Structure 1
Amino acid sequence: MGHREVVDGMIKDGVSDVYSDKGSSISREQQDDNSIQSYESHCGNQCQRLPVGDGSRGGSWRQRKANCYRAKADGVDILDAAKLRKLRPAFKEGGTVTAGNASSNSDGAAALVLVSGKYALEKGLTVIAKVRGYADAEQAPELFTTSPALAIPKAVKRAGIDASQEYAMVEEAHPPWLWT
Structure 2
Amino acid sequence: MATTTRNNSRSIMSKQHFKVCFCFWRIFRLNVAEPPEEINIIFDEYSHNGIMSLDDLINFLVNFQGEKEGDATNKHAQTIFDSLKHLNIFQRRGLPVEAFFRYLLSDLNGPLAEVKHDMNCPLAHYFLYTGHNSYLTGNQVSSASSTSAIIKALKKGVRVIELDLWPNSRGTDVLVHHGGWRDT
The TM-score range, normalised by the shorter chain, is under 0.3
User: Which has the larger share of strand?
Assistant: 2
Larger radius of gyration: 2
Higher relative contact order (CA 8 A, sep 6+): 1
The TM-score normalised by the length of structure 1 is 0.24
